[in-house]
Structure 1
C-alpha cells in the first residue's frame, strides 16, 4: 500500500496508488467551464479525466446547468482522451426530449464502444428552471424525471418500437438507432435525499445518491430500500491531521462573499439535501473529519472529510459499512490530490 511521507508526492508516486473497484464505484468530478479560461478549459478537462482514470475511478461526473458548457460535448472530449473512464453525464429533463438523450447515449456507444452513466436531475438551481419557464413543484419534478428515464431505458433496450403514455411524455412506436449493446447500457444515478428521490430511484432502478451526515449520524441504507445507494463527499487527507487541515483551510478560506452567496442559494432552493446540510454547523473540529466549511462558503456542494489517511479512511469505511457502495468526489485541484484520496480508499477497503 502506498503511503505519502510529505505533502509533495515523490516522482514515482503518480499512477501507483489505485482505488480498488471490486467492492465500490468511485467517480471524480469534471471542472466547471465557469471556473476557467476558455483557452485552457479543454486541456484542464483532459488532465482531470486522465488523472481520474489513472487512479482507478469508474467515471467522472460532468455537471450541467444554465451557466455551463454542454455536458454531452464535454463528455465526448473525455471519451476521446481516455481509454476506460465513463462520463457520468448530468441530465436535466427540461433541456431536451428523452429521445434526444437516448440518441446521444446510443451514438456515443456506437462511436466509442464505451459505457455512459447518467446522473438524472429533478431539480437543479431553481432560478435556472424559472428562467426556462418551468415552475413544476419538487415532487412532481421527480415524477417527470421518472417518466423521462423510463423512456430512455426502454428506447435503449428495445430493438422494436417503444410506446409510452404518461403524465409528462407520450411516444408511439418510437425506435432507436443505432442500437446499444447490452454491455453498454447506461448506469443511472439520481439524488436520494428525499422520499420523492428514493421513490424515483426504485422506479427507474437507479443508484440513489445522498449528501451524507457523518457516519455516526447516518441511518445508512435502509432495509428493503430496493436500490443501491451512494454518497457525495470531498476529501483532503495527508500523513497527519494537522497537515490535512492546513491544506483544507488554505483551499477553502472563510469569506463573507461566499457566505452571502450560500444564503441566497438557500432562499431559492427547494432541495432537501441543501436544507439538511445547511442546518449543520460549518465550524472546524480538528478531532473530527466531517466539515461543511466549503459548503457554507459556497465553494462546493458536498461535505468534506479532512484528516489523516487513517482517520478519513475510517470514515469512508463507516459509509461502506452502512451500505453505501458509490462515492462521488469533488473536483480535484491536482493529480497529487487524487493520489492522496486514493490512499484513503485503499486503506478503507483494506481495513
Structure 2
C-alpha cells in the first residue's frame, strides 16, 4: 500500500518553536493559501486545518479560521483533500452538515471533517459556552456526529437525544461522495466513538508499541461497515545523514526551551483528563500532536524505513509538520516522495 502524505495548515502560524529565525509566526490567509496550493502541486494528498477560534498559545497571536479557509482552499486547489476540524460545541450539527456538504461539492469530493471534542477550556468558557466534563463532551459529540453523518448520507433524519432533537430533516443537494469522517482522541470514549462512527482515526505521534496497542484495541471493537483506517501525526526532520537530522533536532530543542512559557500556559489551560496531554508528558517532542515522537527524524533512508514500518503496522495516512515549513515540505517532496511513488 502506498501511504498518503498530508500537511498541517499553519493555523497557529508555526508548528515548531515560535522563535525560529527562518520561520516567522504567520497564520495569515495569504500564507496558508500559498502553502496549500503549493502542497497540492507538489503532490501531497491532504491538508488538515485544525480548529480554534483563538490561538491557544496566546490570544495576541493570529489564528486562521478553519471553515471559511476550507471553502476557499477547496475552490483554489485541484487534487488535495481538504480536511477541516470541528468542535461540536461551536456549531449545531444541522448547520455544520450543510456546510460540509457544500464544501464537498465545491471541492469535487475532496473534503473530510475531523471531529475533535475540545481540550482548550478558555476558548469555550470565555464565550459563555460551558466546558463539560471529558466523558460528557464525548457523549455530546457522539449525538452530534450521528446527526451529521446521517444528513451527509442524504438520509431524512429524525433524532431524539439528550442534547439534540431533530425532526424530519433532509439536506439537498448532498455531496457525493460523502465527506470522509476523521476522529481524533485516544481515551476510551474516543476509541469507542472511532469504532462506531469514524472512517479514519488520527493517532498522535508516539512510540510504535503504543500505537500498535491503540490500533489493536480499536480494530477489535464491534463495528458496522468497512474497517476503520488509521492515520498518524508526525513532525519530520529529514537530512542527508542521521547526524545532520539529529543536530537540527537539538537546535530546535534549544529554541523550544526559550519559548517554554507559551507551552506551559497552553497546558495549564487544557483539560487535565485529555489523554493527549498525558501522552505528551511521557514522550517529549518538537511539534504538536506528538510531533517528533513519531520518530520521523533522520536521514532520507531512515525516514523512509520508519514510514514503511508504520505502514506495516496499519498506518495509511501521515499528517506532517515541518520547520521552516515551506522549505522542509519541499525537501520531503523531493527526497521522500520518489521512494514511494
TM-score interval, normalised by the smaller of the two chains: 0.7 to 0.9
TM-score after normalising by structure 1: 0.79
- Which sections of structure 1, spanning at least 5 residues, go unmatched? 1-21, 283-291
2:303 is aligned with 1:303: no
DSSP 3-state at the match of 1:219: helix
RMSD of aligned C-alpha atoms? 2.5
Match of 2:275 among 272, 275, 281: 272
Match of 2:196 among 200, 203, 223: 203
Over residues 74-115 of structure 1, what are the superposed CA-to-partner deviations in whole Å (9 max), with x where a residue is unaligned? 112212221111211011111111111111122223344233
DSSP 3-state at the match of 1:233: strand
- Which sections of structure 2, spanning at least 5 residues, go unmatched? 15-23, 55-62, 222-226
2:64 is aligned with 1:69: yes
Over residues 46-75 of structure 1, what are the superposed CA-to-partner deviations in whole Å (9 max), with x where a residue is unaligned? 221123212322211112112133211111
Most deviating of 325-334 and 192-201:
325-334
Most deviating of 325-334 and 118-127:
325-334
2:339 is aligned with 1:344: no
**Alpha-carbon distance between aligned partners in 2 of 1:99 and 1:218, rounded to the nearest angstrom:** 34
**Alpha-carbon distance between aligned partners in 2 of 1:157 and 1:331, rounded to the nearest angstrom:** 35
- 1:137/1:81 Cα in 2 relative to 1: closer, same or farther (>3 Å)? same
**Alpha-carbon distance between aligned partners in 2 of 1:54 and 1:150, rounded to the nearest angstrom:** 35
Q: In the alignment, which residue of structure 2 is the partner of 1:262?
A: 263
Match of 2:6 among 22, 27, 32: 27
Q: In the alignment, which residue of structure 2 is the partner of 1:288?
A: none
Match of 2:97 among 98, 102, 108: 102
**Alpha-carbon distance between aligned partners in 2 of 1:274 and 1:190, rounded to the nearest angstrom:** 17
Most deviating of 104-113 and 229-238:
104-113
- 1:43/1:66 Cα in 2 relative to 1: closer, same or farther (>3 Å)? closer
**Alpha-carbon distance between aligned partners in 1 of 2:269 and 2:25, rounded to the nearest angstrom:** 28
- 1:197/1:216 Cα in 2 relative to 1: closer, same or farther (>3 Å)? closer
Over residues 98-153 of structure 1, what are the superposed CA-to-partner deviations in whole Å (9 max), with x where a residue is unaligned? 11111112222334423311110112312213223222111221221121111111
Q: In the alignment, which residue of structure 1 is the partner of 2:235?
A: 234
2:133 is aligned with 1:137: yes
Q: Equivalences for 1:115-154 in 2 at 5 Å?
A: 115-132=110-127, 133-154=129-150
Q: In the alignment, which residue of structure 2 is the partner of 1:50?
A: 37
TM-score after normalising by structure 2: 0.81
2:193 is aligned with 1:214: no
Aligned residues: 309
Shift of 1:323: 1.3
Note if contact 1:118-1:187 (Cα within 8 Å) is conserved in structure 2: yes
